[in-house]
Amino acid sequence: MSEVQYAEGRGWLRASSIGIVVAVLTAAVMVTLLKVGLSPFPKPPSLKFAEIVLGRPLPLPVGLLFHLSYVTFWSIAFVRYFRHRSLATALALAGALWIGILVVFFPMFGWGFAGLAVSPKLIPASLLPHLLFGLLLWGFNRYLPGGTAARLAPGEESA
């Protein structure tokens, strides 16, 4: 890791830590909604993906490990490699990932384009965790030690 990356808060440890925290918080929200019966998903998307990859039925913790891995991956990508790490950029990443789940993963799961074969409720239900991802990613990157807020002069705004 270069001195510049560390000075800019782009180190591996910081990026990985942000990813893990964001993954755990978003999973906690989604599992809570599932357990109280408010989730319209037939199965958590991360679990469905894990079952497709591994080719057999799996318990929820395996799906949560898949969730942890890909949320951490995208968080590391954002923190270490995105030139502009603004709220708009974090939300754009979240939006791109949301479009990906609607267009690629829901059809792969047999749920149809945008989940419409199951219910139109899957569209907003999948948007909310992606928005939460973008907000948490931006917030932790900005406000944890080494983030952009720590490097700004008083009154200065980040890009």
Sign of CA dihedral 130, 132, 133, 137: positive
Tokens of 84: 């502009």
Residue 156 to residue 93: CA distance in whole angstroms: 24
> Mean of the pLDDT values across residues 36-50?
95
Tell me which of 105 and 147 has the higher pLDDT.
105
pLDDT reported for residue 10: 86
pLDDT reported for residue 155: 54
* pLDDT tens sequence across 4-40: 554 467 899 999 999 999 999 999 999 999 999 999 9
pLDDT band at 3 (very low <50, low <70, confident <90, very high): very low
Kindly report the number of other CB atoms within 10 A of residue 95's CB atom: 14
pLDDT reported for residue 116: 98
In angstroms, the Cα distances linking 12 to 72, 79, 132 are 11, 9, 22
* pLDDT tens sequence across 67-124: 999 999 999 999 999 999 999 999 999 999 999 999 999 999 999 999 999 999 999 9
pTM comes to: 0.87
Chain mean position to CA 39: 18
pLDDT reported for residue 145: 81
pLDDT band at 151 (very low <50, low <70, confident <90, very high): low
Residue 111 to residue 30: CA distance in whole angstroms: 18
